[in-house]
Structure 1
Amino acid sequence: MQHKRYRTGFAAMAAAALFVSACSNATTDSQSSTSSPAAPSASPSAASSDATHNDADVTFAQGMIPHHQQAIEMSDMLLGKQSIDPEVISLADEIKNAQGPEIEQMQGWLQEWGASSSPAPATSTAMPGHDMPAHQMPGRDMGKMPGMGGSGHGMMSEADMAALQNAQGAEASRLFLTQMIAHHKGAIMMAQQEIDNGQFPAAVEMARNIVSSQQAEIDTMQGMLDK
C-alpha cells in the first residue's frame, strides 16, 4: 500500500510539472506573438528615411542650374560698371547671394541621384515645330547661345547679353532690370512645374522659395522701372 501511494504521488507531481511547462510555453508563445509585429514596423521608417526623387526633380535641377548661372553672369556684368543706381547694385548682389548657394545645392542633388548636370542633347525624334526649351539644351554657359532671347524660360540670347555688356549708366540699369524681370518670370514657371510635379522634398521647397522670392524681386524691379 505504501508503494502504491508513492506511485500515485509521483504521477500527480509529474502531471503538475507538465501543466506548469505547458503554461510557460503558452506564455512564451503569447509574448512572441504580441512582439512579432514590431519587426515589420521598421520597414516603413527605413523607406521614409530615403528621400525619393523623380524625373521632374532632375529636370528642375538640370534646368535651373544654367538659369541661375546666367542670372549671376548678368549681375556680374552690371556690378562691373560705373554710375549704376545703388538700388540696382544692391539687387544684383542679392541675386548673386541667393542663387549661388542654390546652384551648389542642386549640383549636389544631381550628383547624389547619379544624373548629369545638363540634359542630353535633343535628338532627331523631336517633333517638328517644337523647339527644345533653352533650359534643356546642353552646356553650362546658356548666355552664349544665340537666338534664345526670351523664348527659353526667360533665358537671354547672345544678343541680349551683348547689349547688357555694352550698356552704361542709367541705360545699363534699365536694361538689367528689364532683362531680369523676364528672366525671373521664366524661373517662376520652371519652379511651378517642380511644385506641381516634383517629389524630392528639398527640391519642391526650393521651388516654392524661388516663386516667392523672385516674384517679390520682380515687383521691386518693376517699381524701379516705374520711377
Structure 2
Amino acid sequence: MNAIEHSTSTSRRRVRRTALIGTVAAAGLLLAACGGNDDMGGMDHGSKSPSASATSGSNPAPGAFNDADVMFAQMMIPHHEQAVKMSQLADGRAKDAEVKDLAVEIEKAQGPEIEKMKSWLKAWGKPTSPSGGMDHSSMPGMDHGSGSSESPGMSGMMSDEDMKELKAAKGTDFDKMFAKMMIDHHNGAIDMAKDEQKNGKNTTAKKLADDVVKAQSTEVEQLNNILDRL
C-alpha cells in the first residue's frame, strides 16, 4: 500500500469512529431524555393525586344528598344542643352517680356531633337552621313532644317551662326529672334518626343516624333502669 492509499484508509477509519461516537452519544441523550420524561410523568401523577385527594377530603359529607339529609342535620342540631344543656344542668344538681356519669357522656358525644352536622350543612351550601317557612311538624319524627320556643313541635324537645323546672330541681328530684325528660328527648332523636335512615341519601348522614339509634336506644334502657331504682 502506497502512502496515498494508507492516508485515505486512515481517514476513513477516523470518520467511522467519529460517526460511531456521535451515534452512541445521541443514543445516550435520547435515553436520558426518555428517562427524564418518565420521571416528570411520575411527578405529575404524584402532584395530581394529593390534589384530588385533598378535594374529596375537603367535604365532610361527600356524595349525593337530598332534602331529608339537610332536614336531619338542621333539626338534629338544636335537638342535640338542648340535650347538651340538660346534661350540663346535672353539674351541682344531680345526686345519683350514674346520672352524673351519663350526663357527662351525653355532652361528650353530642357536642362533637353538632359540629359535624354544621360542617355538612356548610359543605352543602345550606343554612344551619330551616328557612322558608317550611312546616316540619307534618314530617315523620317531627310531631312529638311539646317543643321549645326555638323548635316548636320538634320530636322530644322540652318546652321552656320544662327546662326551668329541671334547672330548679336538685338531688333525687333532679335525677328523676332528668331521666324522664332525657328518655323522651332520646326517643324523639331516635324517631328523627329512623326517618333519616329511611329517607336520607347521604352515606355520612345515614351513618350518624345509625349511631344515634344505637347509642340513644342503649341510653334509654339505662335511664329506665335508673328510674326503676330511684
How has the CA–CA distance of structure 1 residues 3 and 86 changed in structure 2, closer, same or farther, with 3 Å as cutoff?
A: closer
How has the CA–CA distance of structure 1 residues 23 and 189 changed in structure 2, closer, same or farther, with 3 Å as cutoff?
A: farther
Moved more, 101-110 or 28-37: 101-110
What's 1:27 paired with?
31
Separation of aligned partners in 1, 2:215 and 2:139: 29
Structure whose CA Rg is larger: 2
* One-letter identity of the residue aligned with 2:224: Q
Unaligned 5+ residue runs, structure 2? none
Separation of aligned partners in 2, 1:179 and 1:92: 12
* One-letter identity of the residue aligned with 1:8: R
Q: Select the residue among 42, 45, 52 that pairs with 1:47.
A: 52
How has the CA–CA distance of structure 1 residues 132 and 178 changed in structure 2, closer, same or farther, with 3 Å as cutoff?
A: same
Task: Give percent identity, aligned residues only.
Answer: 32
* One-letter identity of the residue aligned with 1:3: S
| 1:153 and 1:183 in contact (8 A); partners too | yes
3-state SS of paired residue (1:143): coil
1:218 aligns with 2:220: yes
Cα shift at 1:70: 0.8
Cα shift at 1:224: 1.8
What's 1:68 paired with?
80
How has the CA–CA distance of structure 1 residues 22 and 186 changed in structure 2, closer, same or farther, with 3 Å as cutoff?
A: farther
1:94 aligns with 2:105: yes
| 1:143 and 1:155 in contact (8 A); partners too | yes
Moved more, 213-222 or 27-36: 27-36
Give 1:24-173 correspondences, 5 Å limit: 24-32=28-36, 34-38=38-42, 39-50=44-55, 51=57, 52=59, 53-54=61-62, 55=65, 61-77=73-89, 85-104=96-115, 106-107=117-118, 116-123=127-134, 130-131=138-139, 143-145=148-150, 147-148=152-153, 152-158=154-160, 160-161=162-163, 164=166, 172-173=174-175
Cα shift at 1:8: 0.6
3-state SS of paired residue (1:28): helix
Separation of aligned partners in 2, 1:48 and 1:199: 18
Separation of aligned partners in 2, 1:28 and 1:60: 59
RMSD: 4.3
Unaligned 5+ residue runs, structure 1? 135-141
Cα shift at 1:68: 1.6
Q: What is the TM-score normalised by the length of structure 1?
A: 0.64
| 2:141 and 2:188 in contact (8 A); partners too | no
Separation of aligned partners in 2, 1:180 and 1:101: 19
Cα shift at 1:44: 2.7
Cα shift at 1:178: 2.7
How has the CA–CA distance of structure 1 residues 71 and 189 changed in structure 2, closer, same or farther, with 3 Å as cutoff?
A: same
* One-letter identity of the residue aligned with 1:40: H
* One-letter identity of the residue aligned with 2:225: G
* One-letter identity of the residue aligned with 1:143: S
How has the CA–CA distance of structure 1 residues 205 and 73 changed in structure 2, closer, same or farther, with 3 Å as cutoff?
A: same
Separation of aligned partners in 2, 1:147 and 1:59: 15
Q: What is the TM-score normalised by the length of structure 2?
A: 0.64
